[in-house]
């Protein structure tokens, strides 16, 4: 009833925040940063492979070649073959499809959920009424999730729902939420004390408007920086789940499970079976870390020039 | 200046919890009013509660007690929805030029926001209004897409002014608007504030410890000490002859470029007491050279001792009368008539 006091108009800003010039300034920004460019190239390659990897692979990644087990790298098999006779190179470039799907979706879900909960719990901490209850409840929930060893919890979650890509994603996203939540909450504590927050109230924002239009954009930095380790964490944890058979089912090309398949061969001198997927995993995590750092700088207008 | 009262503050109290069931008595019973088109200065040193008063009036913090009548409505207990509808009429200019602007918003959106949230205007009209106010503060449409960090402190403060006047408010609370600025920029901002006040018929509550700034901008002055107003009067009369001992001390601490203009120094003893344990009587008791026992028993009311001059001091009438005579006919020996 009282809300009618406010004019009921088109609330869109007269200017869009992100315009056409944004892409050009992004290119100009990237040009001066070789590390960021390298990261972009790596990310672009993994995304390309996620879409087309199995198509450009010289051999079908999930079919064993009879009698071709544990062949060393050669012209025919650039990275050799594994113990069951599958072409390692084909599997390495096919793996991003499943690895990226799992890691990116889990991390994005965790980022969105963690930032939202972090803003709510940070902004309303110490307030009165329902906000404070929500804030406390969120923090206790995060404490409970983080009280369990990560791997055991992931195993329990996947075991509860059964193995499968969606369940691995759900488990990893759920486990990653508290990290994004905590770093965002910390940032919100600092941002909410700054004078522009009072200015936003003077401008007529609701508390929700202050929290999400003014505080949140200024508190995203740590969470964005956490995306890259988040992706690495997700890839590694999904590899661990695959290793114990609770992740992606075996013949599917996936770096983590390839490493665990190849590990015993490494002892006996067939280093290629585990080394190449390991390298691919390392380079990919590095690439995402570099891009994460670069994007964090780009998002901060004060660092752009 | 005889006009209607735009803002009427009565017995405003604000206590902050300080732990162990103790409270910082930042504001302990403050009353004043501002007329339409009037600039009132609220002057005092740090810790006097002047900023707290400003924030209570805009309900950026919740007052502990008292009434705040703005445009005939009591703001002090108003619910947030109704308060938001009133926001376009009362705005604030902040002390920190950079930190009061959202670093991730372009200037256009910063200035537009109060209009977007508080006024019924189409996006096109809003853009026109934003450009208009940017012109008024001597910036232009070139500033629209830039970010706050791309401006100097003086320009940032002008952006803050543009935002504060964008909704055509009646009242602007200025919280030490020039204390973070260079001397040269300060003059520029003060001139701009004076011009805008006259052009737009704004009312100002000018919170400051900068007495020269106050003298330039304000019609009337209220001096605060430890959560109480000790004296009010027109700027000219106040600077000519402060009547309260605290005002005297404060005004005599101003440094003028012309040594002949310097008032004789009036110095208070000791330090400002803690606002947690205030003395029972006059807050100045113990520091004041005029103090008698009665001063420690009760807090003096604001009394009109000269036309338009209200002073909270038991001894002001007597001491000031003695002073005026003394300066005319030489100092008499104590006790003689």
Report the gap between the CA of B157 and the closest CA in chain A (Å): 13
Do the Cβ atoms of B84 and A5 come within 8 Å? yes
A–B interface: beta-carbon pairs under 8 A: 112
Do the Cβ atoms of A15 and B85 come within 8 Å? no
Residue A83 has pLDDT above 60, yes or no: yes
Show residues of chain B in contact with A209, CB under 8 Å: 117
Instruction: For residue range A55-77, list pLDDT tens digits in order.
Output: 888 888 888 888 877 787 888 88
Q: pLDDT at position B285, please? A: 84
Q: pLDDT at position B155, please? A: 95
Is residue B40 within 8 Å of B237, Cβ to Cβ?
no
Q: Judge whether B121 is closer than 8 Å to chain A, CB to CB.
A: yes
> Between residues 7 and 46 of chain B, which touch chain A (CB distance below 8 Å)?
none
Closest CA to A224 of A297, A121, A144, A284: A297
Show residues of chain B in contact with A205, CB under 8 Å: 113, 117
Backbone φ and ψ of B15, nearest 5°: -110, 135
Name the helix (H) or strand (E) containing B222.
Answer: strand B220-225
Residue B333 has pLDDT above 50, yes or no: no
Residue B336 CA, distance from chain mean position: 42
> Between residues 148 and 207 of chain B, which touch chain A (CB distance below 8 Å)?
149, 160, 163
Average confidence (pLDDT) over B306-331: 70
Show residues of chain B in contact with A13, CB under 8 Å: 109, 112, 116, 123
Say whether B209 sits in a helix, a strand or coil: coil
Do the Cβ atoms of B127 and A15 come within 8 Å? yes
Show residues of chain A in contact with B101, CB under 8 Å: 196, 199
Which among A7, A17, A196 is the nearest to B99, CB-wise?
A196
Name the more confident of B259 and A195. A195
Report the gap between the CA of B81 and the closest CA in chain A (Å): 6
Instruction: For residue range B56-76, list pLDDT tens digits in order.
Output: 999 999 999 999 999 999 999
Which among A10, A17, A302 is the nearest to B149, CB-wise?
A302
Q: Judge whether B109 is closer than 8 Å to chain A, CB to CB.
A: yes
Q: How many CB atoms lie under 10 A from the CB of residue B336?
A: 5
Residue B53 has pLDDT above 80, yes or no: yes
Residue B77 has pLDDT above 80, yes or no: yes
Do the Cβ atoms of A194 and B99 come within 8 Å? yes
Q: Judge whether A205 is closer than 8 Å to chain B, CB to CB.
A: yes
Q: Which residue from A minimizes the CA distance to B101? A: A196
Which positions ≥6 away from B120 have C-beta within 8 Å?
A7, A8, A9
Instruction: For residue range A198-229, list pLDDT tens digits in order.
Output: 999 999 999 999 999 999 999 998 898 788 77
pLDDT band at B255 (very low <50, low <70, confident <90, very high): low
Report the gap between the CA of B53 and the closest CA in chain A (Å): 15
Do the Cβ atoms of B100 and A9 come within 8 Å? no
Q: pLDDT at position B329, please? A: 37
Do the Cβ atoms of A195 and B99 come within 8 Å? yes
Which positions ≥6 away from A82 have C-beta within 8 Å?
A69, A70, A88, A91, A258, A261, A262, A265, A273
Q: Which residue from A minimizes the CA distance to B107? A: A15
Q: Which residues pair with B9 in a beta bridge?
A: B32, B68
Name the helix (H) or strand (E) containing A294.
Answer: helix A272-299
Name the helix (H) or strand (E) containing A101.
Answer: helix A96-124
How high does pLDDT run on average in chain A? 84
Instruction: For residue range B168-224, list pLDDT tens digits in order.
Output: 999 999 999 998 899 889 999 999 999 999 999 999 999 998 888 999 999 999 999
Q: Judge whether B215 is closer than 8 Å to chain A, CB to CB.
A: no
Report the gap between the CA of A141 and the closest CA in chain B (Å): 29
Average confidence (pLDDT) over B12-37: 91
Q: Which residues pair with B173 in a beta bridge?
A: B92, B205
Closest CA to B190 of B201, B176, B200, B203: B176
Mutate to test the interface with B, among A25, A129, A204 (most CBs of B within 10 A): A204
Residue A238 has pLDDT above 70, yes or no: yes
Residue B290 has pLDDT above 80, yes or no: yes
pLDDT band at B334 (very low <50, low <70, confident <90, very high): very low
Q: Judge whether B118 is closer than 8 Å to chain A, CB to CB.
A: yes
Please report, rounded to a whole number, the percentage of residues in chain A having pLDDT higher than 90: 27
How high does pLDDT run on average in chain B? 87
Q: Judge whether A4 is closer than 8 Å to chain B, CB to CB.
A: no
Show residues of chain B in contact with A3, CB under 8 Å: 81
Q: pLDDT at position A233, please? A: 78
Q: pLDDT at position A8, please? A: 52
Q: pLDDT at position A117, please? A: 96
The DSSP annotation for B19-88 comes to STT-EEEEEEEEEEEEETT-EEEEE--TTSSHHHHHHHHTTSS--SEEEEEETTEE-TT--HHHHHHHGG
Please report, rounded to a whole number, the percentage of residues in chain B having pLDDT higher than 70: 91
Q: pLDDT at position B286, please? A: 81
> Between residues 230 and 259 of chain B, which touch chain A (CB distance below 8 Å)?
none
Q: pLDDT at position B297, please? A: 84
Two structure tokens written together for B9: 């503050």
Which positions ≥6 away from B9 have C-beta within 8 Å?
B30, B31, B32, B33, B53, B57, B66, B67, B68, B69
Name the more confident of B269 and A184. A184
Name the more confident of B277 and B208. B208
Q: How many CB atoms lie under 10 A from the CB of residue A61?
A: 22
Average confidence (pLDDT) over B14-37: 91
> Between residues 272 and 301 of chain A, which touch chain B (CB distance below 8 Å)?
301
Instruction: For residue range B118-175, list pLDDT tens digits in order.
Output: 988 999 999 999 999 999 999 988 999 999 999 999 999 999 999 999 999 999 999 9
Do the Cβ atoms of B103 and A199 come within 8 Å? no
Cα–Cα distance for residue pair B104/B110, rounded to 1 Å: 10
Is residue A223 within 8 Å of A115, Cβ to Cβ?
yes
Residue A2 has pLDDT above 70, yes or no: no
Which among B85, B96, B99 is the nearest to A6, CB-wise?
B85
Instruction: For residue range A176-188, list pLDDT tens digits in order.
Output: 999 999 999 999 9
Cα–Cα distance for residue pair B174/B41, rounded to 1 Å: 9
Q: pLDDT at position B256, please? A: 64
pLDDT band at B260 (very low <50, low <70, confident <90, very high): low
> Between residues 290 and 309 of chain B, which touch chain A (CB distance below 8 Å)?
none
Do the Cβ atoms of B102 and A199 come within 8 Å? yes
Please report, rounded to a whole number, the percentage of residues in chain B having pLDDT higher than 90: 56
Instruction: For residue range A122-138, list pLDDT tens digits in order.
Output: 999 888 788 889 999 99
Q: pLDDT at position B330, please? A: 36
Instruction: For residue range A18-39, list pLDDT tens digits in order.
Output: 555 667 777 888 888 888 899 9
Which among B58, B120, B130 is the nearest to A9, CB-wise?
B120
Report the gap between the CA of B271 and the closest CA in chain A (Å): 30
């Amino acid at each position: 009833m009282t809300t009618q006091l406010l004019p009921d108009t088109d609330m869109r800003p007269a200017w869009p925040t992100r315009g056409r010039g944004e892409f050009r300034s992004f290119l100009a920004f990237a040009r001066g940063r070789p590390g960021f460019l390298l990261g972009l190239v790596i990310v672009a390659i993994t995304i390309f492979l996620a879409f087309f990897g199995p198509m450009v692979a010289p051999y079908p990644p999930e079919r064993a070649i009879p009698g071709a087990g544990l062949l060393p790298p050669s012209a025919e098999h650039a990275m050799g073959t594994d113990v069951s006779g599958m072409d390692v190179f084909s599997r390495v470039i096919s793996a991003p499809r499943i690895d990226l799907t799992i890691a990116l979706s889990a991390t994005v879900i965790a980022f969105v959920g963690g930032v939202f909960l972090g803003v709510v719990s940070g902004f309303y901490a110490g307030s009165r009424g329902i906000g404070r209850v929500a804030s406390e409840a969120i923090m206790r929930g995060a404490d409970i999730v983080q009280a369990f060893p990560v791997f055991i919890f992931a195993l329990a979650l996947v075991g509860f729902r059964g193995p499968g890509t969606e369940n691995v994603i759900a488990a990893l996203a759920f486990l990653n939420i508290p990290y994004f939540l905590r770093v965002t909450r910390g940032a919100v504590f600092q941002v909410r004390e700054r004078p522009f927050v009072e200015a936003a109230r003077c401008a007529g924002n609701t508390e929700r408007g202050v929290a999400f239009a003014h505080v949140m954009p200024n508190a995203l930095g740590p969470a964005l920086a956490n995306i890259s380790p988040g992706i690495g964490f997700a890839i590694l944890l999904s590899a661990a789940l695959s290793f114990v058979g609770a992740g992606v089912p075996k013949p599917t090309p996936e770096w983590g499970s390839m490493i665990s398949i190849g590990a015993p061969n490494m002892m006996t001198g067939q280093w290629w079976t585990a080394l190449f997927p390991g390298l691919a995993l390392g380079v990919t995590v590095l690439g995402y870390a570099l891009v994460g750092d670069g994007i964090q700088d780009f998002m901060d207008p004060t660092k752009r020039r | 200046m005889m006009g209607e009262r735009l803002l009427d503050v009565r017995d405003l109290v604000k206590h902050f919890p300080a732990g162990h069931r103790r409270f910082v008595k930042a504001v302990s019973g403050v009353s004043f009013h501002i007329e339409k088109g009037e600039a009132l200065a609220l002057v005092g040193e740090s810790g006097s509660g002047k900023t707290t008063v400003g924030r209570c009036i805009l309900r950026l913090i919740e007052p502990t007690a008292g009434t705040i009548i703005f445009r005939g409505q009591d703001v002090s207990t108003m619910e947030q929805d109704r308060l938001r509808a009133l926001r376009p009429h009362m705005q604030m200019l902040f002390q920190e030029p950079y930190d009061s602007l959202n670093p991730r918003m372009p200037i256009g959106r910063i200035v537009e926001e109060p209009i977007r949230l508080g006024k019924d205007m189409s996006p096109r009209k809003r853009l026109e209004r934003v450009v208009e106010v940017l012109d008024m503060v001597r910036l232009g449409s070139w500033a629209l897409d830039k970010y706050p960090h791309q401006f100097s402190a003086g320009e940032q403060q002008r952006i803050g002014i543009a935002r504060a006047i964008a909704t055509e408010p009646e009242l602007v609370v200025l919280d030490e608007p020039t204390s973070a600025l260079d001397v040269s920029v300060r003059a520029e901002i003060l001139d701009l504030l004076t011009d805008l006040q006259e052009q737009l018929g704004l009312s100002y509550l000018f919170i400051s410890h900068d007495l020269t700034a106050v003298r330039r901008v304000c019609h009337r002055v209220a001096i605060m000490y430890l959560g109480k107003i000790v004296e009010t009067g027109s700027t000219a009369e106040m600077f000519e002859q402060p009547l309260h001992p605290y005002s005297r001390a404060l005004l005599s601490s101003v440094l003028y470029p012309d040594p002949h203009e310097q008032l004789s120094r009036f110095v208070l003893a000791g330090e400002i007491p803690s606002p947690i344990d205030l003395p029972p009587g006059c807050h100045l008791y113990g520091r004041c050279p005029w103090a008698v026992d009665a001063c420690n028993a009760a807090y003096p009311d604001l009394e009109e001792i000269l036309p338009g001059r209200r002073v909270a001091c038991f001894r002001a009438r007597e001491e000031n009368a003695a002073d005026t005579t003394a300066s005319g006919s030489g100092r008499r020996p104590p006790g003689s008539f």
